[in-house]
Structure 1
Amino acid sequence: MTNTGNDFAHPSRRGFLGMTLMGAAGLGLSSLPGTARAQATGQVIVGISQEPTVFNPHLLHIEVDEGIHWALFDPLFSVEPDGSFAPRLVTEVPTVENGGISEDGTEWRISLKEGVTWHDGTPLTAEDVKFTLELQTNPDFRAARRTGHELIEEITVVSDTELTWKMSSAFAPYMAILSWTMIVPAHAFEGEDPNEAPFNQSPIGTGPFVWDSRAPGDNIQLVANPDYHGNKAQIERVVVRYVPDLTVLYTQFRTGDIDVIALQGIAPDHYAEASELSGKTVELVPVGTVETLSLNVGNPVLADPAVREALYLGVDKATVIDALYYGLPTATETYMPQQSFYYNESLPEHVYDPEAGIALLEEAGWVVGSDGIREKDGERLSFVCSTTAGNHTREQLQQFLQQSWRDMGIEMSISNLPPAVMWADHWMQSQFDMAVAGIIFLTGPDPDTRDYFHTEAINAQGGAGQNTFQYSNPRIDELLAEGATTVSPEARKPIYEEIQALVREELPFLPLFQRNEVRGHDEQMAGYTPNINVRITFWNMQDWSWS
């Protein structure tokens, strides 16, 4: 076997910071035009523990769906592992220096590659880009993200391959947002409700792979796009197999039934054995995912700041990391990855002190009732914790917390759900009380977190975003607006440090650790490259090949 801690095990802060409006554009492997490759052959089976179910990249979705999106679609430009941007559909990444972005950041000019076609043979044009950008702000569309896009005031199609737009104000995160914005075909939505269009289940892209088939609850199959405009895929067929039980998933990897174990990877309790497997490459890779105990502060019990702080005091984080996760993750107090230039190193360090938590609850008026559970004003200190069924490590964490908090007079029930249910409306519409959730809060290397912390990003209250905590703080709203219109990284840094401090103080989620994931693939497979700036492990399948 090969056990590697490759160059991505310790990405630099500079690399994670990447680009802002003033940065230079990089050129990634996937963007080099005309590079000859052999005809695609063979098959790769990718094993994942959650099932992709949302194939329109602009509807509300979770990380696992993005593995399919990256295979089928292209953004205008992508964010690379070193934080630079590389052309995908454009001839060059727009910058101030090349005239693609005005000095004040409000005027943009994009030139598309010529000869790019959709999977159905229709040519890609600037009208498709215009449609995609306008779709994000369509009030009747259930957009996953409106942040940044809503600042566009006017889009002009100059020609089939050129368009310009004006923004009401500069928005520093917009480069990163565009690197995650997949372009979709306008003609696929003609006369259709974009929320229910046939495209949403039979997607058409410009990407390196073409949709082939889906067996719900089992697999999705993609085939190489022979007409891809960039480096063509070297693997003829990719089967993305859904295996919800992490132990079964690992067993299939160990026996060779799957070639790549993706998403959450190999569970920590299997790491030692996996490291010794013959014919496998196993590596420990830091990712931007922060494991959280996410709280719905719309719940009247969890709305009490004293309850949230007491819960955190009752978490034995050191034991969780060492005993349940075998010491692999890195403890954290924030949502910001520790490799980021914007990471706040001065946050108060968590202390495990259940007695202090009990005292805090007593002071806040939560007294022990006849059944041993605290109550206040007729409300019991009781809630339900949910996560993905079949994730045995998270289930052990829940049981550990359940007993720890029970000793403090707090009742936590456990109700876990299949992934397709857990991360649908239960999560997106804040129907949970507490959820064990791994979240990547950033968009690429940019520190903006409007989608997670802004008041207008609460879906359950009619907003658009990922603020499933239903967390609202006017000061954070102000800081997010200030940070988004500030270009200099040095000037932005104190803004995002203050946001981290406020979030740490008010605890809309209890931060546990930043993940270091155990990833594995067949050692004969080349091209598997980690990228801390995207949310999914199998983002570059067009570069995979069998050696």
Structure 2
Amino acid sequence: MKIKTILLGAIAGAALAPVAQAERGSDGQVSIIYWQAPSILNPFLSGGTKESESSSLVIEPLARYDQDGNLVPWLVEEIPTVENGGVSEDLTSIAWKITPGLVWSDGTPFTSADVKFTADYCMHPEGGCAQLTKFEGVTSVETPDEQTVKVTFEKPTPFPYGPFVGAESPIIQAAQFADCLGARAPECTEQNFNPIGTGPFVVDEFKPNDVITMSANPNYRDPDKPAFAKVLFKGGGDATAAGRAVMETGEFDYAWNLQLAPDVIAQMQEGGKGTPVAGFGPLVERIMLNQTDASPDLPEGERSTAKHPHPFLKDPAVYKALSMAIDRPLLVEIGYGQAGKVTCNWVPAPAAVNSDTFTCDTQDIEGAKAMLEEAGYTDTNGDGIRETPDGEPMKLVYQTSTNAVRQDFQALIKEWWREIGVDSELRNINASVFFGGDPGSPDTFQKFYADVEMYANTFNGTDPQSYLGNGLCDKAPRPETQWQGENISRFCNEEFDALHAELTKTAGAEARAEIAKRLNDIMVENGGMIPLVHRGRLSAHANTLGGVILNVWDSELWNAADWYRKEGS
């Protein structure tokens, strides 16, 4: 391998340090395994982390978050602020200055027109954009010149860094996606599978739910990067096989999201081929509670409206009893060990927004029984299952993705719920399908054709405004949005919507944090979800892979352009 020593200026003011850096393409192939396989390379058409992360190797945002949660420029010269004149004094607009000379991987200029087009694409009234909350309050996106993008908001917006920031809001090429606006977006297979980008790699071949092969972008802005000529991105399988492939057999260089018991991770590490890396961001394993009737007898689309409320999950006595019956410390112990913490909150990080309103670290089976009994949920026929006051048996369809830890959680929670008189039918779905976002599939987490479902979610950066916006009434997935949207429970609360609107115009970190905590509390208090575990991100990289910096605030692959094969390996 050809090596040269350069000085890299660390992001956000860290010290300069000499780093061994390979020349472009000199290190052969890097092999990455995500056991949840990407189904598309367009994060605007999927809310899945696997899609935003895999596509981040190809398409990029104007700015993103570094490993410490700092907002850093990526395709722009600097982060706009009031102080540098990039954000207007009245906080109603932000102007981004694109770095001169940037080109797409096809060699054509990257301009403000591409940025504006991306906004038009996501905000199209006839489309379904999974990241629409990033554009909440945007009234216009203008292009004063080829290097300037001006975003105007309907009211003062103290945190204007939603659009075009982070792996979930990258820029797509206007020329490539010109015929993919609105309802046509999911039909553009070539564009969605092979996006032209500004990132370090270009797509050679994309096989949905299987394998992606990529090559070094010949027009990448740094002539010495990426070090790797090829990327093999393997999807599918399970977390156990992924962990072994890096830490035991050395077949792969990077394995994402090793949702495995701590003793399993320790055993794998003894293989000597790889190293686990972990860090805590805002990732939370939770149970989403369907606010609507999940009956398959309802017409397509009816389950996503308030016309048919769930027969008992909207009752506080029920969702509080379900939560009280869960032994969260045991879930942490068997599922995550040091990589997990008990949480009662939707947003447990950063620490400033972690609410202390609730306690949930002690299981209370008897208290849950008493709460249901008092609310009129009794077992009238002696079969061990309570009935609602209307006589309907309390039976739930409980679904999640296929994963050993999640199936262990399902089995335990089913047993605990059975103890309080609530029955559960367990269902697990292949993760590539469950998180895939295919509008034609009945098995996606967005469709939510079940009573409760369990998964984990997180957000880019340290400000939760856009993420909390996923609880707004109008963000529920439905047929007219091609089932995109992140309000998975179909939660709808007027106080929540009004308070979120207040957050969008509130300045000051402390004031924003207080509103964020109250929004968290409204969601949990009103049964939108049952938080379970604050999860650390746990992945692994080969001992021969250099340059890896785990980032829990953005895509884990955020600095793949800096990865290299260690000398002598």
Is this a same-fold pair by TM over 0.5? yes
- 1:354 shift after superposition: 0.8
- 1:63 shift after superposition: 0.4
> Which of 433, 437, 450 lines up with 1:421 in the alignment?
433
> Which of 293, 297, 305 lines up with 2:287 in the alignment?
293
> Which of 466, 469, 489 lines up with 1:469 in the alignment?
489
Give the Cα–Cα distance (whole angstroms) in 2 for the partners of residues 238 and 113 of structure 1: 27
Match of 2:23 in 1: 38
- Size of the aligned set, in residue pairs, is 515
- 1:367 shift after superposition: 1.2
- 1:362 shift after superposition: 1.1
1:383 corresponds to 2:402: no
1:533 corresponds to 2:553: yes
- The answer to whether the 8 Å contact 1:60/1:142 transfers is no
Percent identity over paired residues: 28
- The answer to whether the 8 Å contact 1:269/1:325 transfers is no
Give the Cα–Cα distance (whole angstroms) in 2 for the partners of residues 248 and 156 of structure 1: 48
Match of 1:196 in 2: 187
Q: What do residues 94-143 of structure 1 show as CA deviations (whole Å, max 9, x unaligned)?
A: 11121111111112222212222222222112111111122221111211
- 1:148 shift after superposition: 5.0
Match of 1:238 in 2: 231
Match of 2:306 in 1: none
Match of 1:330 in 2: 341
Written as runs of structure 1 = structure 2, the 5 A alignment for 1:266-281 is 266-281=260-275
- 1:465 shift after superposition: 3.0
Give the Cα–Cα distance (whole angstroms) in 2 for the partners of residues 495 and 216 of structure 1: 40
Give the Cα–Cα distance (whole angstroms) in 1 for the partners of residues 261 and 219 of structure 2: 38
1:454 corresponds to 2:472: yes
**Any unmatched runs of 5+ in structure 2?**
1-10, 294-309
SS at match of 1:134: helix
- The answer to whether the 8 Å contact 2:47/2:131 transfers is no
- 1:38 shift after superposition: 1.1
Match of 2:251 in 1: 257
Q: What do residues 373-407 of structure 1 show as CA deviations (whole Å, max 9, x unaligned)?
A: 11121321011111112x11111111111122112
Instruction: Name the aligned partner's letter for residue 185 of structure 1.
Output: Q
Give the Cα–Cα distance (whole angstroms) in 1 for the partners of residues 523 and 361 of structure 2: 14
Instruction: Name the aligned partner's letter for residue 453 of structure 2.
Output: A
> Which of 408, 421, 433 lines up with 2:451 in the alignment?
433
Q: What do residues 386-439 of structure 1 show as CA deviations (whole Å, max 9, x unaligned)?
A: 1112x1111111111112211221111111111232223531133232112011
- 1:267 shift after superposition: 4.3
SS at match of 2:206: strand
Change in CA separation of 1:191 and 1:499 when aligned onto 2, cut-off 3 Å: closer
Give the Cα–Cα distance (whole angstroms) in 2 for the partners of residues 328 and 203 of structure 1: 35
Change in CA separation of 1:27 and 1:265 when aligned onto 2, cut-off 3 Å: farther
Written as runs of structure 1 = structure 2, the 5 A alignment for 1:361-380 is 361-370=372-381, 371-376=383-388, 377-380=390-393
Give the Cα–Cα distance (whole angstroms) in 2 for the partners of residues 213 and 258 of structure 1: 19
Q: What do residues 432-483 of structure 1 show as CA deviations (whole Å, max 9, x unaligned)?
A: 321120111x441112134321111111386763010111121111111111
Change in CA separation of 1:490 and 1:66 when aligned onto 2, cut-off 3 Å: same
- 1:78 shift after superposition: 1.5
Q: What do residues 189-218 of structure 1 show as CA deviations (whole Å, max 9, x unaligned)?
A: 234433322311221111111011123343
Change in CA separation of 1:164 and 1:36 when aligned onto 2, cut-off 3 Å: farther
- Structure 1 stretches (4+) deviating beyond 6 angstroms? none
Change in CA separation of 1:456 and 1:443 when aligned onto 2, cut-off 3 Å: farther
- 1:54 shift after superposition: 2.2
Match of 2:205 in 1: 213
SS at match of 1:169: coil
Give the Cα–Cα distance (whole angstroms) in 1 for the partners of residues 143 and 78 of structure 2: 18
Instruction: Name the aligned partner's letter for residue 393 of structure 1.
Output: V
- 1:289 shift after superposition: 0.9
Give the Cα–Cα distance (whole angstroms) in 2 for the partners of residues 360 and 515 of structure 1: 29
Q: What do residues 502-523 of structure 1 show as CA deviations (whole Å, max 9, x unaligned)?
A: 2332232111111124321111
Match of 1:520 in 2: 540
Match of 1:445 in 2: 462
Written as runs of structure 1 = structure 2, the 5 A alignment for 1:139-150 is 139-150=125-136
Match of 2:350 in 1: 339
Instruction: Name the aligned partner's letter for residue 388 of structure 1.
Output: S
Q: What do residues 265-321 of structure 1 show as CA deviations (whole Å, max 9, x unaligned)?
A: 554341221343323222332232101112112132322221111111111112222
Match of 2:60 in 1: 74
Match of 2:561 in 1: 542
> Which of 97, 100, 103 lines up with 1:117 in the alignment?
103
Between 497-506 and 458-467, the greater mean CA deviation after superposition: 458-467
Q: TM-score by structure 2 length?
A: 0.85
- The answer to whether the 8 Å contact 1:172/1:487 transfers is yes
Match of 1:304 in 2: 315
**Any unmatched runs of 5+ in structure 1?**
1-24, 30-34
Change in CA separation of 1:164 and 1:174 when aligned onto 2, cut-off 3 Å: closer
- The answer to whether the 8 Å contact 1:148/1:171 transfers is no
Give the Cα–Cα distance (whole angstroms) in 2 for the partners of residues 334 and 194 of structure 1: 35
- The answer to whether the 8 Å contact 1:28/1:87 transfers is no
Instruction: Name the aligned partner's letter for residue 333 of structure 1.
Output: C
Give the Cα–Cα distance (whole angstroms) in 2 for the partners of residues 165 and 216 of structure 1: 34
Give the Cα–Cα distance (whole angstroms) in 2 for the partners of residues 140 and 264 of structure 1: 38
Between 173-182 and 234-243, the greater mean CA deviation after superposition: 173-182
SS at match of 1:174: coil
Give the Cα–Cα distance (whole angstroms) in 2 for the partners of residues 124 and 327 of structure 1: 44
Match of 1:13 in 2: none
Change in CA separation of 1:142 and 1:525 when aligned onto 2, cut-off 3 Å: same
Written as runs of structure 1 = structure 2, the 5 A alignment for 1:311-322 is 311-322=322-333
Change in CA separation of 1:174 and 1:108 when aligned onto 2, cut-off 3 Å: closer
- 1:351 shift after superposition: 3.0
Give the Cα–Cα distance (whole angstroms) in 2 for the partners of residues 206 and 244 of structure 1: 30
Match of 2:214 in 1: 222
1:83 corresponds to 2:75: no
Instruction: Name the aligned partner's letter for residue 454 of structure 1.
Output: L
Q: TM-score by structure 1 length?
A: 0.88
Give the Cα–Cα distance (whole angstroms) in 2 for the partners of residues 266 and 354 of structure 1: 27
- CA-based RMSD of the aligned residues comes to 2.3
Instruction: Name the aligned partner's letter for residue 24 of structure 2.
Output: Q
Give the Cα–Cα distance (whole angstroms) in 1 for the partners of residues 480 and 560 of structure 2: 36
Q: What do residues 20-72 of structure 1 show as CA deviations (whole Å, max 9, x unaligned)?
A: xxxxx94799xxxxx98512222111111201112123223310111122110
> Which of 166, 172, 181 lines up with 1:184 in the alignment?
172
